[in-house]
Amino acid sequence: MKNIFSKKKSFKQYLWYIPLAIALMVGIYYIPPVHSRLAWRVDEARTRIKYFFNPPDQAAFQPQSQINFDSILSTTRAEYSLTLTPAIVQTATPKAGPAFTPTITTTPLPASVSLSGVKYEDQHNRWNYCGPANFSMALTFWGWKGNRDIVGKAVKPSDKDRNVMPYELQDYISNNVPSMTSALRYGGDIDLVKRLLSAGFPLVVEKGYYERDYTGKIGWMGHYQFVTGYDDAKQEVIVQDTYNDGANFHINYKEFMEGWRSFNYLFVVVYPANRESEVLDLLGNLADADLAARHALDLAVAEVSTLTGNDQFWAAFNVGTSHVALREYVDAAYAYDYAFGLYTNLSNDLASRPYRVMWYQTGPYFAYYYASRYSDVINLANTTLEETVAEPVLEESLLWRGRAYYMAGDTPSAIADYRAALKVHPKWAPALQALQDLGVKP
C-alpha cells in the first residue's frame, strides 16, 4: 500500500512539467524560422475541420437589393445596351466613344520568344506567397537585388493574410524601388502578351485555376504567374509558376485565357521608370487605364452571352469589375447582382463554386458601398468571413464591413473591424487611416 501512495506522490511531482512543456512548445512554434514552416500546416488543419462541418461552396450571398439584369436598360447611363432573355445576353452594343483598334506593328512578331535573365523563385515553405515571389521575379529580371522574403515582409507581414492585392505590390515598388515603376490594366489578350515579350518586357498576370485541394474536392483559387515567353507553333505561353508547375512551364493559349478570365484579364508590367514611353507605346489603346477598362467591359458583356456555368459567372463578374475601374458604381452593383444570381445556380458536378472569389477581388465592396447599399456590404462581408474562410482573416472584408457599419451608424462595430484588420495586416494604412479619422487609437 505504501508503495502505491509513493507512486502517486511521485506522479504528482511531475504534473507541473505539463504546462511547462506546453509553454515550451508554443514558444518554439513562434520562433520565426519554425513558425514560417509550420503556420500553414496549423491553418490547414483548422480549415479542414471547419470545412468538414460547413462546406464553403454551399454559402451563397444574396444581395438584398438584387434586381433582374434587364433593369440595367433603365438605370445605366446608356454606356451600353443589352437585350436579354432569361439569364442569357443576346446582343451587346458598345457605347459611342473612342474606337478600340489594335496596335499597328510595323514588323512581324517573332514566332517564339523566351526571355533570358529570369531568376526563378518559388513560394514553397511560405503561406500564400505567390504575390511576393512573382513580383520579386519581375524586379530581379531588371537587376533588383532582393528576393521574395524582402517583398513579403513589407506587403504580407502576417501569415494570416490570405492574399496580396496587385495595388499593394505596386505600392511596394513605388515606395521601395524608385528606379522601377509598373502599369496595371484590365483587358489583356495573347496578342498583347506577345507584343510585350517580343520587346523584352515580361508581365505578371493574375489568374484563376481549379485543382483538387486538401479536402479532396476540386476548388478554385487565385494565383499570380510571371509570363516570360510564348511559342506560336505550339500555341503556348511560358510562365514561371511559383506553386506546382515550376520554372518555364508551358500553358496552352486557350487554357491560359480561360484562367485569366477570372480576373478580367488583369496584368501588371514592371519596368524601369526611364523606359515608360516604350511600354505605353506597346500597350497601344490600353495605355489609357479608362480605355483599357472600357475595352474589358466590352469583352465581358460579349462573353456573358456566349459562355455558360462558371465561365459565365466570371464574365458577369467582370462586367462589374470593369464598371468599378471606371468609377461607375451603381452600374457595377447591378452587374454584381446578376453575377451573384448566377453563382447561386452553379453546379458542383465538375467544379465547385469559386467561393474564394472575395479573398482576391474587392470590386463588389466598392460597388455596393458607393451605391449606398451598406447592408449588402455587411452581408457580403459576413458571408465571406464567416462561411468561406476558417477564421475571419481577410483584412479587405473587415475594412469594408467596418466602413459600412460606420455609415449605418454602428461606430463601435466599425472600430472593432478596423482593429481586427490590423491584427491580420499590422500597420495596414487603410485601417490605420480609418481609425485616425475617428480619432481612435489602433
Core vs surface per residue 126-157: b (16+ CB within 10 A) or e: bbbbbbbbbbbbbbbbbebeebbbebbebbbe
Q: What pLDDT is recorded for position 89?
A: 33
State how far the alpha carbon of 191 is from the alpha carbons of 118, 219, 275, 284, in Å: 22, 29, 21, 12
- Please give the Cα distance from 434 to 442 (Å, whole number): 10
pLDDT at 208: 95
Q: What is the pLDDT of residue 96?
A: 40
Give the pLDDT score at 353.
Answer: 86
Helices (H), 199-252: none
Please give the backbone phi and psi of residue 412, each rounded to the nearest 5 degrees, phi first.
Answer: -60, -40
What was the pLDDT predicted at 125?
86
Measured CA angle at 302 (ends 298, 305), to 5 deg: 155
CB 366 within 8 A of CB 332: yes
State how far the Cα of 414 lies from the Cα of 406, in Å rounded to an integer: 5
CB distance 319 to 301 below 8 Å: yes
* Dihedral, CA of residue 152, residue 157, residue 163 and residue 167, to nearest 10: -70
CATH class of 112-287: alpha beta
Q: Tell me, what DSSP letter sits at residue 109?
A: P
Model pLDDT, residue 349: 52
103 and 284 Cβ atoms separated by less than 8 Å: yes
- Along the 442 residues of the chain, how does pLDDT read in single tens digits? 555 545 555 555 656 666 666 666 656 655 656 555 555 555 555 555 555 556 666 677 788 865 444 444 334 333 333 333 233 233 333 344 444 454 445 678 999 999 999 999 999 988 789 999 999 999 999 999 999 999 999 999 988 888 899 999 999 999 999 999 999 999 999 999 999 999 999 999 999 988 876 666 778 999 999 999 999 999 999 999 999 889 999 999 999 999 999 999 999 999 999 999 999 999 999 999 999 999 999 999 999 999 999 999 999 999 999 999 999 999 999 999 999 999 988 875 556 789 999 999 999 999 999 999 999 999 999 999 999 888 889 999 999 999 999 999 999 999 999 999 999 999 999 999 999 999 999 9
Phi, psi angle pair for 99, to nearest 5°: -75, 140
Q: Are 244 and 208 in contact (CB under 8 A)?
A: no
* Residue ranges of domains in the chain: 2-51, 59-99+305-437, 112-287
Q: What is the pLDDT of residues 406-415, one digit of tens each?
A: 999 999 999 9
Taking the C-alpha atoms of residue 169 and residue 130, their distance in angstroms, rounded to an integer, is 11
Architecture of the domain spanning 59-99+305-437 = Alpha Horseshoe (1.25)
At CB < 8 A and 24+ separation, what contacts does 392-396 make?
Answer: 392/420, 393/160, 393/161, 393/162, 393/424, 394/162, 394/163, 394/358, 394/359, 394/424, 395/161, 395/421, 395/422, 395/424, 395/425, 395/428, 395/431, 396/165, 396/362, 396/365, 396/421
